[in-house]
Structure 1
Amino acid sequence: MIDGFPLIDVHLHVARLPTLKSGWMDWAQGFGDAAALARVYDPAGTVVPAAFDAYLAAEGVDVALLLAEYSPKVTGMQVIEDLLPVARHNPDRIKIIANVNPHLHYPLDEEVRRQLDLGAVALKIHPVHAGFAANDRAMYPAYEACQAAGIPLVVHCGTSTFPGSSNKFADPVNLDDVLRDFRNLTVVLAHGGRGWWYDAAAFMALANDRVWIELSGLPPSRLREYYAKHNWTRLTRRMIFATDWPGVPGIAANARAIKELCPDDQTAALVLAGNASRVYNLKLTA
């Protein structure tokens, strides 16, 4: 809870440091809380589950979703198996999100189902780091697996500064085909169109009740500026709180700042937890 509001953070990276490229740590230390990293990682670069759970509790996080990522050329390998010990420590608070890369996994639908069997509650794809378009038909078996399982598809929708990124693949227009072809698939736009797609992302979320804006990596102080062309009251009700931890100074600080931007307490409750609970099929414990 944060100031009486349940809090769900749907976008955290908790990888084993030896599996990552050096740019990942530069990003984490440059934008995040170095002291928090030191508290939750052991000397070998592995997250200590109890320490991480305690950190989340201190920040007011009721549920945290940890992301796997298979992007060996850009950030490295955040394999889902490395997240399992962290999630098992407190499965009520800590969940995991699957990831597939069409250049590494085949058949994609089987890999999605394998990761779901490990406990994943959603699938994230990262076209910018993995180098593919979201509407590539090779990805359709993965989307079909998501639709059949009733889980959301999280899509990186924003620029990335990591060397090797292909930012042209962040354009949300690529998802038009996916939304048309998968009529029961929910899509979450991670980073909310960061860069030069804010308007496109906002339009999609306002026009389609299966599309959501996810706030990871977006400074709260600039959100009104980013989405200035759109009805703020309507758009906030389509938002889901997320931080992109560890690339954030503090989860609680971001949550409080987001809460103050909401037009009323009902909307704040939706942004901080209610929308995530609905979209990711999560249950908050009492």
Structure 2
Amino acid sequence: MGYVDSHTHVWFKETLPKEFFSNNSGYNYVPPKIDEIIKEMDSANIDYIVIIAYPSREIWRTKEDFPINTINFVKPHANRFSVIGGIEPNRITLHEAKEWLEKQYESGVSGFKLHPVHSHVKPNAYREEEGGLKQLELLYQFAQDHDLPVVIHTGTSMFIGSRNKYADPIYIDDVSVDFPKLKIIMAHMGRPNYVSTAFQIVRIRRNIYAEISSIPPKKLLEYIPRLEEISYKTIYGSDYGGPGVKGIAENLREFLSINITEQAKENIASKNPKTMYRPLSELI
């Protein structure tokens, strides 16, 4: 059984804009070498990792070409990587949103990411009472029509420029109701402030899935004591590349040592992510 790390920020120097290295986020990221990442994956029996290559003008200076640049760079190792794209719906026109979604889809993304806290947009901002943002509605509709998941960040962010009033997962409930066939991945399960809300929404909404990246594995059962109850729809991720995450291999080893059944571990770290995300080799 090989594993999947379904949430990483393994960003390579060759794919990042020059402005990234002068950003004021408060976090100095050192890009890894691709051969080093693959070697670490091999040591931990990780079949492939999911790279979250989302646009964030405010925090990272990245735009909608970032996932395409990432795909082009990792193509020689297409069976070891899966790439998540996305748009900043409140920063581009409706026409631009349509163009970028189509370009990213044709390039081989395995899903899209929305980061409300970094993009300063509520996940339900497409609704008329929340502003009627048509670009966001298009993102959800496009993903639903093409059977691609949408990863939505929940929980606070420490980076300068983040606005944590958008961190509450309750707004995702609207998305679940309005797009019932859309697969919604609730990244980080609302940690630390909103875990109870996130857990309840995952339990009651058929199309919302839990994703546990950035929660230290040793603390995971403190955050989510009933994790095993939702293991059939929970997805493992490390958030490697983010602050405090020690490494892809070490984070996985710590997760595999927690006190849940082996079946639950297999579901969370292998079966479920493989069902949700396809490697690039199957998409190009």
Q: Give the TM-score range, shorter chain.
A: 0.7 to 0.9
- 2:34 counterpart of 1:53: no
What is the match of residue 5 of structure 2? 9
Q: CA deviation at 1:83?
A: 0.6
Between 249-258 and 128-137, the greater mean CA deviation after superposition: 249-258
Shift of 1:263: 2.3
Change (3 A) 1:120 1:131: same
Pairwise CA distance, 1:15: 4.4
- Of 75, 98, 122, the residue aligned with 1:109 is 98
Give the partner amino acid of 1:173: I
2:48 is matched with which residue: 53, 58, 63? Answer: 63
Q: How many angstroms apart in 2 are the aligned matches of 1:200 and 1:282?
A: 31
Q: Secondary structure at the match of 1:218?
A: coil
The answer as to whether partners of 2:118 and 2:163 remain within 8 angstroms in 1 is yes
Q: Distance in 2 between matches of 1:123 and 1:245?
A: 18
Q: Are the equivalent residues in 1 in contact too, given 2:41–2:249 (CA < 8 A)?
A: no
Q: How far has the Cα of 1:69 moved from its partner?
A: 2.1
Residue 62 of structure 1 contacts residue 284 of structure 1 at CA under 8 Å; is this kept in 2?
A: no
> Which secondary structure does the structure 1 equivalent of 2:157 belong to?
coil
Amino acid at match of 2:229: R
After the TM superposition, list the runs of 4 or more consecutive aligned residues in structure 1 that deviate by more than 4 angstroms.
21-25, 281-285
Alignment-derived partner of residue 232 in structure 2: 237
- Aligned mates of 2:280, 2:206 — CA distance in 1: 21
Q: Once the two structures are superposed, what CA deviation does each residue of 1:262-285 show, in whole Å capped at 9, x if it has no partner?
A: 522111111111111112256999
Distance of 2:29 and 2:231 partners within structure 1: 27
Does the CA contact (< 8 Å) of 1:50 and 1:89 recur in 2? no
In structure 2, the residue matched to 1:32 is none
C-alpha change, 1:255 and 1:100, in structure 2 (3 Å) is same
2:112 is matched with which residue: 123, 130, 141? 123
The structural deviation recorded for 1:81 is 3.0
Structure 2 Cα separation of the partners of residues 128 and 219 of structure 1: 21
Checking the alignment, whether the CA contact within 8 Å between 2:55 and 2:61 is kept in structure 1 is yes
Residue aligned with 2:188, SS: strand
Q: Is the 8 A contact 2:40 2:248 kept in 1?
A: no
> In angstroms, what is the RMSD of aligned CA positions?
2.3
2:280 and 2:241 map into 1 onto residues whose CA distance is 24
SS of match in other structure, 2:257: helix
Match of 1:34 in 2: none
Count of aligned residue pairs for this structure pair: 263
Q: Which residue of 2 aligns with 1:197?
A: 194
> How far apart, in 2, do the equivalents of 1:152 and 1:93 lie?
19
Q: Which amino acid aligns with 2:121?
A: F
Q: Which has the higher strand share?
A: 1
Percent identical pairs in the alignment equals: 25
Q: CA deviation at 1:169?
A: 0.9
Q: C-alpha distance in 1, partners of 2:280/2:146?
A: 17
Asked whether 1:151 is paired with 2:152, we answer: no
Quote how far apart the aligned CAs of 1:19 are: 3.7
Contact 1:215-1:240 within 8 A present in 2 as well: yes
Q: Which runs of no fewer than 5 residues in structure 1 stay unpaired?
A: 30-36, 42-48
How far the C-alpha of 1:200 sits from its partner, in A, is 0.8
Alpha-carbon distance in 1 for matches of 2:160, 2:26: 13
Separation (CA, whole Å) in 2 of partners of 1:246 and 1:24? 14
Which SS does the other structure have where 2:124 is aligned? coil
CA deviations 1:150-208 (Å, max 9, x no partner) are 01110011110111111111211111111111110011011111121101111111112
